[in-house]
Copies of this chain bind each other. A is one copy, B any other.
């Protein structure tokens, strides 16, 4: 997908808005009316540019034969990958780690998120997180004490409460009395925070 110009973006937005409003795509004249063009050829050339760049498909000889290609423009839907919490190695978005995908809107968990992490074990049981739950993970380094974080400690990935004790010391606290707190000395141990939980999904 090539780069889009701001004018072309406005035309693309115009098509989307028209579609949402009416249920069918605009004509060249409709686009002119919406964007203040005085010649249908203005719309035509923009459409041809958008087609060339792969943003839309134009059915030749067909009235209103415009369809938007990129899924992101078709409403607010998206496919989010489900990643297994493998004991070793980080939960990357590499294809071999993706078990499946779930279709859901970007704003489904109020904040934006990046992927679903499938939980193993019961170390967060008292926080209502059990085996096979899907945690909605937001990749971020903006972590506060009390956040549920996805942490990688020496190639081991875990889900725990985050608690910074001092400059050097971070506690990773489970929500289950059968598990011990993990004390991390940032000077000695390699801690990487993948992100934090912003929601949870369970199917039973």
Contacts and interface: CB of A to CB of B under 8 A. Distances in A.
Interface in A180-204: 197-204
Which of A22, A65, A68, A204 has the most chain B CB atoms inside 10 A of its CB? A204
A109 interface: yes
State the oligomeric state as a number of copies: 2
A201 B136 CA distance: 10
Q: Is the interface of A mostly helix, strand, loop or mixed?
A: loop
A63 B24 CA distance: 9
Interface stretch (A32-40, A83-91, A125-133): A125-133
Contacts of A199: 201-204
Contacts of A27: 63
A59 interface: yes
Nearest to A198: B204
B22 A110 contact: no
Nearest to A21: B67
Contact of A133 (B63, B102, B125, B128): B128
B67 A23 contact: yes
Nearest to A127: B130
A126 B65 CA distance: 55
A108 interface: yes
A48 interface: no
A68 B24 CA distance: 10
Interface string A54-86: 000101001111111000001101000000000
Interface of A: 22-25, 27, 57, 59, 62-68, 74-75, 77, 102-105, 108-110, 125-130, 133, 148, 197-204
17 contacts: A22-B59, A23-B57, A23-B74, A24-B25, A24-B59, A24-B62, A24-B66, A64-B64, A75-B75, A77-B77, A103-B108, A109-B203, A128-B129, A128-B130, A197-B204, A198-B203, A199-B201
